[in-house]
Amino acid sequence: MHSVPVAGIRQLLVSGGSTMAAAEVARQMSEGARNLSLSGHVGFDSMPDQLVNKSVCQGFCFNILCVGETGLGKSTLMDTLFNTRFEGDPAAHNQPGVHIKSNNYELQESNVRLKLSIVNSVGFGDQINKEESYKSIVEFIDAQFEAYLQEELKIKRTLHNYHDSRIHVCLYFIAPTGHSLKSLDLVTMKKLDSKVNIIPIIAKADSISKNELQKFKIKIMSELVSNGVQIYQFPTDDETVAEINGTMNAHLPFAVVGSTEEIKIGNKMMKARQYPWGTVQVENESHCDFVKLREMLIRVNMEDLREQTHTRHYELYRRCKLEEMGFKDTDPDNKPFSLQETYEAKRNEFLGELQKKEEEMRQMFVMRVKEKESELKEAEKELHDKFDRLKKLHQDEKKKLEDKKKSLDDEINAFKQRKTAAELLQSQAQQSGSQQTLKREKERKNFF
Ligand code: GTP
Ligand code: MG
């Protein structure tokens, strides 16, 4: 009897061949599944127990973000919630901006281990200009989503032992003013509501009267609705918790009181805050909503908060991020578009762009070369012209000099001729002079 579906699967795989997509095979498999009744105990009814055992072995993690102005009792409430003392030194509140401080703890209750992160927005609301107060909180939440996405996109993933730091819940502490929400609260919650499950709580609720508190709660809820702020709603789809969750949704925002101090009331030690006029019991539901918060946050909806973080907020972040990177599930005709196809399309687009860029660069290079060539030709022509001009100048100069030389030579020759003639005349004159002297000498001698 049990071999029938297996044979069916084998048949499908063979008939589908390698081209049949896995999703299509799975669809056909579930469509073709037959309902069979077993004739005896097989044992797969232990599946839930196996899951529980495995989860208990692995342990759980839960990350809480506390946002609220300085001194609203965030640390005290965390200590009260988990019945321990977490933080050491109080944070400094003279910083120019909001910074995020995350502390990790390992807690154990019976055999269940819980890795708890308490993240604090230190300095929130301390600045004069509070415009950017939400930024570092949003960036921190996104950074945790990004880290998870990067792990998920790795070839070799280790998600089973990955330390998940995504924020599962944001406890938003509202000051017990009794008036209305501050614009800082509205802006911050609006910026956070698509990224994290927000549970608004009225801090230090012992400082506000019962009637005022009711009015304040109504005012806060109407302001949240009118500003479109989505807060976390305790789920009502699971019928085991639908009733309690439905009732608790109507009590939001929870008005809480925190205290780690234990006071003896009757014959019992109780967490309380003692005042000269009386005592506020933290765990007394007629005094404040602390128990409601603890029940909803830890005992009933911890897993739903984890699930919502993964399936709603992280999914939204992942989708936006992948779409930003150019991935999509369908093509423009609304047909399924696989990751492989997206990759190929992106690759082709990139190669096309690369080729276009290459062609542009080539054309630019050719243009530049041509420009340089014509510049060089121009320069060459100019040089030639200059050379010709200089050559002509030189020739003219040379001709002038030659003419001058010729005229000088002529002058020299004429001078030489005149000189020779003068010398000839002079020698002739000398000759005739000496002949006359001889003649006179002879005449003188003859005379004597
Ligand atoms: P920072 O981390 O410095 O921003 O302060 P915080 O919000 O962690 O406040 P913290 O828990 O340090 O409490 C500040 C003061 O408020 C302490 O003196 C607490 O005792 C007191 N406090 C805490 N919770 C309550 C409360 O529910 N009601 C009243 N009246 N006082 C409280
Ligand atoms: Mg603190």
- Give the model confidence (pLDDT) of 201-214 as tens digits: 999 999 998 889 99
Cβ(137) to ligand 1 under 6 A?
A: no
Cβ(257) to ligand 1 under 6 A?
A: yes
What local confidence, expressed as pLDDT, does residue 30 receive?
Answer: 65
* Mean pLDDT, rounded, for 339-354: 84
* Mean pLDDT, rounded, for 285-305: 91
* C-alpha span between 381 and 385 (Å, rounded): 6
- The answer to whether the beta carbons of residues 366 and 373 sit under 8 Å apart is no
Residue 251 has pLDDT above 70, yes or no: yes
- To test ligand 1's pocket by mutation, which of 66, 72, 201 has the most ligand atoms within 8 angstroms of CB? 72
Share of the chain above pLDDT 90, in %: 47
Q: Which tokens go with 422?
A: 């003068």
* C-alpha span between 234 and 169 (Å, rounded): 12
Tell me: the pLDDT tens digits for 49-79?
Answer: 998 998 888 889 999 999 999 888 899 999 9
* Mean pLDDT, rounded, for 353-381: 95
Share of the chain above pLDDT 70, in %: 92
Distance 15 CA to ligand 1 centre (A): 68
Ligand nearest to the CA of 121: 1
Q: How confident is the model at residue 98 (pLDDT cuts 50, 70, 90)?
A: confident
- The pTM for the full model equals 0.73
Cβ(258) to ligand 1 under 6 A?
A: yes
What local confidence, expressed as pLDDT, does residue 127 receive?
Answer: 74
* C-alpha span between 313 and 144 (Å, rounded): 12
Q: How confident is the model at residue 48 (pLDDT cuts 50, 70, 90)?
A: very high
Cβ(90) to ligand 1 under 6 A?
A: yes
Helix (H) or strand (E) holding 65: strand 60-67
* Mean pLDDT, rounded, for 111-126: 88
Cβ(126) to ligand 1 under 6 A?
A: no
Average pLDDT, the chain: 87
- To test ligand 1's pocket by mutation, which of 76, 78, 118, 127 has the most ligand atoms within 8 angstroms of CB? 76
Q: How confident is the model at residue 7 (pLDDT cuts 50, 70, 90)?
A: very low
Instruction: Provide the β-strand partners of residue 280.
Output: 273
* C-alpha span between 140 and 150 (Å, rounded): 15
Map tokens 């030639």 to a residue.
384
Residue 330 has pLDDT above 90, yes or no: no
* C-alpha span between 52 and 44 (Å, rounded): 14
Residue nearest to atom 22 of ligand 1 (CA): 73
Distance 74 CA to ligand 2 centre (A): 5
108's torsion region: left (phi>0), alpha (psi -120 to 50) or beta? beta
Q: How confident is the model at residue 304 (pLDDT cuts 50, 70, 90)?
A: very high
What local confidence, expressed as pLDDT, does residue 27 receive?
Answer: 65
What local confidence, expressed as pLDDT, does residue 26 receive?
Answer: 64
Residue 237 has pLDDT above 70, yes or no: yes
3-state secondary structure of 166: coil
Residue 21 has pLDDT above 50, yes or no: yes
* Mean pLDDT, rounded, for 222-238: 92
Cβ(123) to ligand 1 under 6 A?
A: no
What local confidence, expressed as pLDDT, does residue 333 receive?
Answer: 75
Distance 308 CA to ligand 1 centre (A): 30
Residues constituting the chain: 448
Instruction: Provide the β-strand partners of residue 102.
Output: 119
Cβ(74) to ligand 1 under 6 A?
A: yes
In the chain the first and final C-alpha atoms are separated, in Å, by 192
81-104 CB burial, b ≥16 within 10 A, e <16: bbeeeeeeeeeeeeeeebebeeee
* pLDDT-wise least confident of 247-251, 317-321, 341-345: 341-345
What local confidence, expressed as pLDDT, does residue 376 receive?
Answer: 96
- Higher pLDDT residue, 133 or 137? 137
Distance 75 CA to ligand 1 centre (A): 7
- The answer to whether the beta carbons of residues 230 and 193 sit under 8 Å apart is yes
3-state secondary structure of 180: coil
> Would you tell me the crossing angle of helices 183-192 and 210-226 to the nearest 10 degrees?
50
Out of 8-12, 341-345, 412-416, give the one with best mean pLDDT. Answer: 412-416
Residue nearest to atom 19 of ligand 1 (CA): 73
Cβ(121) to ligand 1 under 6 A?
A: no
- Contact residues for 94 (Cβ-Cβ < 8 A; gap 6+): 126
Residue 1 has pLDDT above 60, yes or no: no
Cβ(207) to ligand 1 under 6 A?
A: yes
- The answer to whether the beta carbons of residues 172 and 137 sit under 8 Å apart is no
Cβ(281) to ligand 1 under 6 A?
A: no
Q: Which tokens go with 278?
A: 């009386």
Instruction: Provide the β-strand partners of residue 112.
Output: 109
Residue 5 has pLDDT above 50, yes or no: no
* Mean pLDDT, rounded, for 212-231: 92
- The answer to whether the beta carbons of residues 188 and 137 sit under 8 Å apart is yes
Distance 264 CA to ligand 1 centre (A): 22
- Per DSSP bridges, beta strands 278-281 and 268-275 are antiparallel
Tally of CB atoms within 10 A around 396? 10
Residue nearest to atom 10 of ligand 1 (CA): 73
Residue 186 has pLDDT above 90, yes or no: yes
- Per DSSP bridges, beta strands 99-109 and 254-255 are unpaired
What local confidence, expressed as pLDDT, does residue 58 receive?
Answer: 85
Q: Which tokens go with 149?
A: 């996405």
- Contact residues for 158 (Cβ-Cβ < 8 A; gap 6+): 151
What local confidence, expressed as pLDDT, does residue 24 receive?
Answer: 65
Nearest Cα to Cα of residue 126 among 207, 187, 70: 70
CB-facing half-sphere around the CA of 207: CA atoms within 13 A: 11
Distance 26 CA to ligand 1 centre (A): 55
Distance 203 CA to ligand 1 centre (A): 9
Helix (H) or strand (E) holding 414: helix 339-447
- Contact residues for 205 (Cβ-Cβ < 8 A; gap 6+): 176, 213, 255, 256, 257, 288, 289
Q: How confident is the model at residue 18 (pLDDT cuts 50, 70, 90)?
A: very low
* Mean pLDDT, rounded, for 313-333: 85
Distance 87 CA to ligand 2 centre (A): 7
Distance 78 CA to ligand 2 centre (A): 9
46's torsion region: left (phi>0), alpha (psi -120 to 50) or beta? alpha
- Strands (E) in 134-259, as ranges, are 169-174, 198-202, 254-255
When computed from its CA atoms, the radius of gyration of the chain, rounded to whole angstroms, is 52
* Mean pLDDT, rounded, for 405-417: 94
* C-alpha span between 2 and 37 (Å, rounded): 10
Residue 29 has pLDDT above 80, yes or no: no
- The answer to whether the beta carbons of residues 113 and 106 sit under 8 Å apart is yes
What local confidence, expressed as pLDDT, does residue 20 receive?
Answer: 52
